[in-house]
Chains A and B, each alone.
Chain A
Amino acid sequence: MSDFDAIVVGAGNAGSSAAIYMASKGLNVLLVDRADPPGAKNLSGGVLWGNDLAQILPKWQSEAPLERFINNKKLGFLTEKSSFMLDFKTQIFEENKVGYTVLRSKFDPWLAKKAKEAGALVIPGITVESLAIKDRKVIGIVESGDTITADVTLLAEGVNARLAIEAGLKRPLRDSDVSLGIKEIIKLSPQKIEDRFNLKNNSGVASEYILGFLGELNVGGFLYTNKDSLSLGVVVPMENLRENGITHSYDLIEMFKEHPSIAPLIEGGQVAEYGAHLIPEGGLEMMPKLYGNGYMILGDAAGFAFSNGLVLQGMNYAILSGIKAGETAVEAKLRNNFSEQSLSAYEEKLNSTYVLKDLKTFKDIRKVTNNPMMYNTYPKLLESIMLETLWERGQPKKKIRDVLSSCASNLNMGRIKTLREFYYIYRRM
């Protein structure tokens, strides 16, 4: 007889969602997290997209500590002196509430509290030492030399996935699997935020940037508005950092903050939090086997995050994978069968959701998002096209076609090669 029906390691979006689902269906659930309050060590960009939480918490939009709903999405290409912005603002987002900015230091403890209310035993401040494995089956967890047993163990331990890797359930991380995210929360009065970003009524903006002024580095930036703070950060592939010998990665966020189009937005703000975290961007490449005898792997630990340059998401993938793992555990409990074969339902369920569908559809997306041209050439191309077209310098005007070809040749972009590149990106995005 096990101590629990299910043990969940990690109170992030995946783990807490799974715990809420299982506990609400009557399973005896233990949810442990290394931080106290639970989830306090968790970090992400800070926008929660979608409405998956409604499956387990129908009233989450009125109960959760949410910051602002997104009705404005921007994509910016920055060069040293210019910024080229795509700016999409819509009433439709406002009516449908498609995404919210959240502060993880408030949101995650709230979600863990919901797991407790659903009946799970939530124990924070505990670092699990290892998985307990007997006869090739995961039978629980080990802490301070004690084994705590469960019929099924859900590994929602985050991107580093130490337990899964040490137990040989997942291969060690490679540089190519992850990007490094560095983030600050910058305090600013709601009035200033609303004035600077043209917001009202709790509306908010989510901006992603391509930083085209950092040489060979493929750095993306983000800037999201919270109630009385901004979430600002940079994301850079680990491989790219290593190739360029960058050790002072925090300089990158400083350079982003100093950019002439960013500095005025954050002026006068106080840095309240600073953090760094790995982002699993390796997709199917890094995805471990998702289940086995007595265990399932969820969220970041399974590599469930998505980025195609336009969107950068992870929390919704984590929540949905948590719910699906929860469903699988509840069904396995009914069958009283927690074997690999029984838990394979988890992958089947994920296959019919966007979680695995997106990873399959966009399996080559890193070739686009990590394409150096995206960072060191296209932003400059956009800048020079804009200058050619918009800057009146007393010269005869050119047709757009001629502007394009002269700008491209200035950047050593051959016509055929460029067209091939665009087609390549177009096919994969």
Chain B
Amino acid sequence: MLKMAVMIKQVPDSQDITIDPVTKTLNRTQARNIVNPPDMNALEAALQLKDKYGGEITVITMGPPMADSALLECTSRGADKAVLVTDRVFAGADTWPTSFTLATTAEYLGGFDIIFCGEETTDSSTGHVGPGIAEFLGVEQATYIHSIDYQDPYFIVEREIEGAVETLKIGKPAVVTVVLNANNPRRPTLKRKIEAFRKGVTTITNKELKLRPECVGLKGSPTVVKDMKTMVDKPKDTVKIGPEEITKVVEVLYQRGIVKC
């Protein structure tokens, strides 16, 4: 039986984020919170392995208490357990202490045969945390995978590289990061939602993890944001053309087979 974990993050829905025209900062107040989209693909990959080989899936997030709704989204889709890692000392973490805290959580929970992460989050786009967890745990990893299979004691994964698809065989335990749209995440059912809401979420704080405060959260973060600038789009050069030129352009496109009549 495979013991699997999926690391997820609650993020603001990027479709709802606007840029304040005056302050030029991101306005997230109107945005609803969703599960980071590639994390849903990571979860689906885990669920498919479970369907095939059996096992147990624990979904884990580090975040504020309100992130429990993101975990319930995952248990509603078939994950077995939900763990919320939350503590004031964890707040303000960059990817280093985040990876460290999540890796420690995985150890605290007895370790996993495989840990799934999304390729990156839509609200910070670093792609650090999956590899970070693998490094802190000292296990094998494969990033940006789109499919996975299991042949004890290996995982066979596929990842797209420039011009080819790479197939890797990695040993257990392992960490993989899954690309966006790698699969079609299943819809939650009412029955599963009811079970998920009834089971609820297990909370882990630093009381359990016992990490040194200077190694986690803002204090443990080496990244410093010194400045932020807004990029302004320069208006593109435009050329006005008449009907003759349009005909010419269409002709060329037609000759090259780009447009068809």
The chain A residues found within 8 Å of chain B, CB to CB, are 3, 30, 32, 37, 121, 123, 125-126, 128, 141, 143-144, 146, 148
A144 to B186, CA, bound (A): 12
Q: Which residues of B154-206 are within 8 A (CB) of A?
A: 187-191, 193-194, 197-198
| A244–chain B nearest beta-carbon distance, Å | 39
Chain B residues near A141 (CB, 8 Å)? 190
Interface string of B96-109 (1 = CB under 8 A from A): 00000000000000
Contact B197 A148 (CB under 8 A): no
Whether B197 pairs with A146 at a CB distance below 8 angstroms is no
Q: How far is the CA of A30 from the CA of B194 in the complex (A)?
A: 9
Q: Give CA–CA (A248, B175) in the complex, Å.
A: 56
A146 and B193 form a contact (CB under 8 A)? no
C-alpha spacing A143/B198, complex, angstroms: 18
Write out the residue numbers on chain B whose beta carbons fall within 8 Å of the beta carbon of A126: 190, 193
Measured CA separation A256–B194 after assembly (Å): 46
Which residues of A lie under 8 Å from residue B189 when comparing CB positions? 143-144, 146
The 3 closest A-B pairs by CB, nearest first: A144-B189, A143-B190, A146-B191
A144-B187, A144-B191, A146-B189 known; 12 other A-B pairs, CB under 8 Å? Answer: A3-B194, A30-B194, A37-B32, A121-B197, A126-B193, A128-B190, A141-B190, A144-B189, A144-B190, A146-B191, A148-B190, A148-B191
Describe A's contact surface by its main secondary structure: strand
Chain B 193-229, CB-CB to A under 8 Å as 1, else 0, gives 1100110000000000000000000000000000000
Docked complex Cα distance between A303 and B194 (Å): 30
Please classify the interface of chain B as helix (H, G, I), strand (E, B), loop, or mixed, using the class held by over half of its residues.
helix
CB neighbours (8 Å) of A123 from chain B are: 190, 193-194, 197
Contacts of B188 in A (CB 8 A): 125
User: Which residues of the partner chain A approach B198 to less than 8 Å between Cβ atoms?
Assistant: 121
- Distance, CA A374 to CA B191, complexed state (A): 52
Q: For the complex, what is the distance from the CA of A123 to the CA of B190, rounded to whole Å? A: 8
Give complex CA distance A125, B32 in Å: 14
Determine how close the nearest CB of chain A comes to the CB of B143; give it in whole angstroms: 32
Complexed CA–CA distance, A350 and B146 (Å): 58
CB distance from B65 to the nearest CB of A (A): 15
Residues from chain B with Cβ under 8 Å of A144 in the complex: 187, 189-191
Q: Mark B52-72, 1 if CB is under 8 A from A, else 0.
A: 000000000000000000000
**Chain B residues closer than 8 Å to A148, beta-carbon distance:** 190-191, 194
B95 to chain A, nearest CB (A): 30
Can you list 24 A-B pairs, Cβ within 8 angstroms, ordered by A? A3-B194, A30-B194, A37-B32, A121-B194, A121-B197, A121-B198, A123-B190, A123-B193, A123-B194, A125-B188, A126-B193, A128-B190, A141-B190, A143-B189, A143-B190, A143-B191, A144-B187, A144-B189, A144-B191, A146-B190, A146-B191, A148-B190, A148-B191, A148-B194
Contacts of B197 in A (CB 8 A): 121, 123
Quote the shortest CB–CB distance from A360 to chain B (angstroms): 38
Q: Which residue of B lies closest to A123 (CB)?
A: B193
Which A-chain residue is minimally distant from B188 (CB atoms)? A125
- Among residues of B, the one whose C-beta sits closest to the C-beta of A40 is B32
A300 CB to nearest B CB, Å: 22
Closest to A141 in B: B190
Q: Mark B125-140, 1 if CB is under 8 A from A, else 0.
A: 0000000000000000
